[in-house]
Amino acid sequence: MKTSFTKYILTIPERMEKARIIVLSEDLDKTIRILHGLNAIHIIELKEEVLEEELKGKLKKLETLREIISSLESSIKKPITIQVKEKIDATTVDELLEEYYNKLKVLNENISALRRKLEYLENTLKKLKELKTYIEVLALTKPNLKLNNLSYKGRTLQVQLVVIPKDKEVKLRKLLENENTLINILCSLQNNILAQIVYLSKVEGKVKKVLKDCDCITLDIPSLNITVSEYKKHIEEEIVKTSSQYNSVSSEIADLIGKHANDIAIAKVLLENVIEKVRVFKALISARYIKGIEGWIPVSIKSKLLNILDSQVGRYMISFSKPRSGEEPPTKTCNPKGIRNFEVLTKTYGVPKYNEWDPTPLLAYSFPVFFGLMLGDVVYGIILILTAKYILDRMVENPESESIRKLKNMLYISGITASIVGFFGGMFLGQTVNVTGNFGSILSPILSPYLELLLTSTPIVNSISSMLINPLNFIILALVIGLIHVNIALIVSLAKAIKLRNIGGILQNLGLLLIQVFGIPFILMSMFKYDIPILRGLESLLLSGIIVSLGVIIVSQLLIYRVLGVLTWVFTITGLLGDVLSYTRIAGVGM
């Protein structure tokens, strides 16, 4: 998010979303006019099959969400009262539905997995308790009987522990009498008999079928060398352990439901408000009573669009979608008032792409300064302002257009800076007014006394005037401006390289910044004998910094250009020097 400070340095184009609006056929033209009035971009009418697919997909997703909510509600054991405190913004309904759909889908998958685990534990617990019932009785009659004598499975012979209903015992014996089986009664329990069945492995399939037909229960007993009494204790321990796991999973489900109860409630409210509308519009599409349009709109006007549609259209359905990966939305600049006037200058070099930075704020500061320094004349500046106000309108077709209005404001600002620079530099109608009156100008007798009073009474103004009148000082000023401007560009380029994780770009821009930090004071002190008190005696440290900076630049060029980097690092440094020196043209034109 842009802060109030950064938007005055660099901006990004306004964030855009695609608005898809479905309305009754009779409201189509009105809706298009509304979108045009809000500066929507790339408005197109949707084909009927696109609308049908859109509504069909949306309805399917909403039905799925309803099933998810219903599934989650089934895990709520007792009624819960939820007070929904969140204020739902109508512009974010689709976004919220998508968010809650994804969130609750994951939640439902997690809870479904826990339910399956709970069901498994419940079945396991049921079997353990049932097994315990029979083993307890068996432990009373045959406590020292080994488990490996109760159950056995070999290649030739098998022994199985089964529970036989008393009323099916005769039938069972009759069905198995010709299969060489032995039924050994161990004990009785109410209406059942606990018995061992011994049979040949080759008739296993038939024996199992007969047991099933006679409603017998096969007990899965491990073939271990422990007694029935010991196994009874083991089962009791397993029951305690499984019960604990069951309670833990139940609590986990309850905690998850409680944690997301508010999400479920909000999703249910959103769903109830949307699903019926979608069904109605889906029913109307086959009769061709509805039309659809879509276009890109700035995020900042979403609420305004909804308010206008509510008041002027009434019956509509709208959805907003963010740009998909690889999709390039149209660019709508977003600059503060005042800076906005210089967008006409930016557009002459090309409109920035949607995800690029907009340099308009930097142009808004630099262009008037450069223009004022180069024109630098009080009268010419005033003429420019008057021309922009009274003549420009007669030279264009639509003087009220936004572009012409911005151009006029930009010319006003540039004219004012030109007049200010001209005033401090003593330039009137191309003539320099010398306060001593020694330089020829028809305006000297009129303006010299005033200028002499102003320039001699205010030291700051006198310094500024001296800088603009003295050619050498003017060149130094131009170079300082060049250094500032070029380094702003390097810092922006460094930030962009960091954002893109471009190691070569990061090192190149960092190296160019560092070589100035160490190189400029070193040259001033060693070549021009300029004294910088804070850096006295640190020339060797500055030289080391220059060498390190050169190394960083060379490495960056090798990363970017591979073998050619051996040569390109030289051009990178000379290019920086050329960029800064090119700003002396400001002084050349200004003088």
Give yes or no: residues 503 and 546 share one domain: yes
Q: In one letter, which amino acid is 583? A: Y
51-80: pLDDT as tens digits: 888 888 888 999 999 999 999 888 887 776
Which pLDDT score is estimated for 457? Answer: 61
Q: Check residue 119 and give its pLDDT.
A: 93
Cα separation values, 386 from 11, 96, 389, 409, 415, Å? 32, 54, 5, 12, 9
Q: Do 136 and 179 belong together in one domain?
A: yes
Q: With a cut of 80, say whether residue 452 has pLDDT above it.
A: no
Residue 9 lies in a domain: no
- For residues 409 and 407, give the distance between their C-alpha atoms in angstroms, rounded to a whole number: 5
Residues 155 and 225 in one domain: yes
The DSSP-derived string for 82-129 is: ----PPPPGGGHHHHHHHHHHHHHHHHHHHHHHHHHHHHHHHHHHHHH
Please classify residue 287 by burial: count the beta carbons closer than 10 Å to its beta carbon, then call 0-12 exposed, 13-18 middle and 19+ buried.
exposed
CB–CB of 106/72 below 8 Å? no
**Average pLDDT estimate for 93-101:** 85
Domain match, 450 and 511 both: no
* Maximum average pLDDT range among 104-113, 143-152, 361-370, 446-455: 104-113
- On whether both 155 and 83 belong to a single domain, the answer is no
* 8 assigned to some structural domain: no
Work out the average pLDDT over 149-171. 88
* pLDDT at residue 46, as a whole number: 86
Same-domain status, 435 and 494:
no
Q: Is residue 1 part of a domain?
A: no
pLDDT over threshold 50, residue 2: no
Q: Residues 6 or more apart from 517 whose CB is under 8 A from it? A: 545, 549
pLDDT of residue 122: 93
325 assigned to some structural domain: yes
Under the banding of pLDDT at 50, 70 and 90, the label for residue 417 is very high
Q: How confident is the model at residue 108 (pLDDT cuts 50, 70, 90)?
A: very high
* 106 pLDDT tier (thresholds 50, 70, 90): very high
Q: Is residue 5 part of a domain?
A: no
Same domain, 229 and 306: no
Q: Is a pLDDT exceeding 70 seen at residue 141?
A: yes
Based on the fold, state whether residues 157 and 48 are members of the same structural domain. Answer: no
Report residue 5 as tokens.
């400070």
Q: End of a domain among 464, 495, 512?
A: 464
What's the pTM value of the predicted model, to 2 decimals?
0.62
- 301 and 346 share one domain: no
- Nearest 10 degrees: Cα torsion 386, 389, 394, 398: 160
Query: Model confidence at 555, in pLDDT bands (50, 70, 90)?
Result: very high
What number is the average pLDDT over the span 569-579? 88
Q: Are residues 169 and 21 in the same domain?
A: no
pLDDT 10s digits, 355-410: 888 888 888 888 898 888 888 888 899 999 999 999 988 888 888 888 889 999 99
CA distances from 156 to 35, 153, 159, 200 (A): 85, 8, 11, 6
Task: DSSP letter for 146, please.
Answer: B
What was the pLDDT predicted at 433? 64
Q: What would the pLDDT profile of 278-324 be if each residue is shown by its tens digit?
A: 888 887 877 678 888 999 999 888 888 988 988 888 888 888 888 88
Residue 195 sits in which domain range?
A: 121-243
Domain boundary among 300, 332, 364: 332
pLDDT, mean over the chain? 85
Q: How confident is the model at residue 1 (pLDDT cuts 50, 70, 90)?
A: very low
How many distinct structural domains can be found in the chain?
4
- pLDDT value of residue 455: 61
Looking at residues 429-450, what average pLDDT do you find?
A: 61
338 and 460 assigned to the same domain: yes
Which of 303, 332, 361 lies at the terminal end of a domain, its last residue?
332
Domain contains 265: yes
- Asked if 222 and 328 sit in the same domain, the reply is no
Confidence at residue 334, expressed as pLDDT on a 0 to 100 scale = 85
Asked if 44 contacts 293 with a C-beta cutoff of 8 angstroms, the reply is: yes
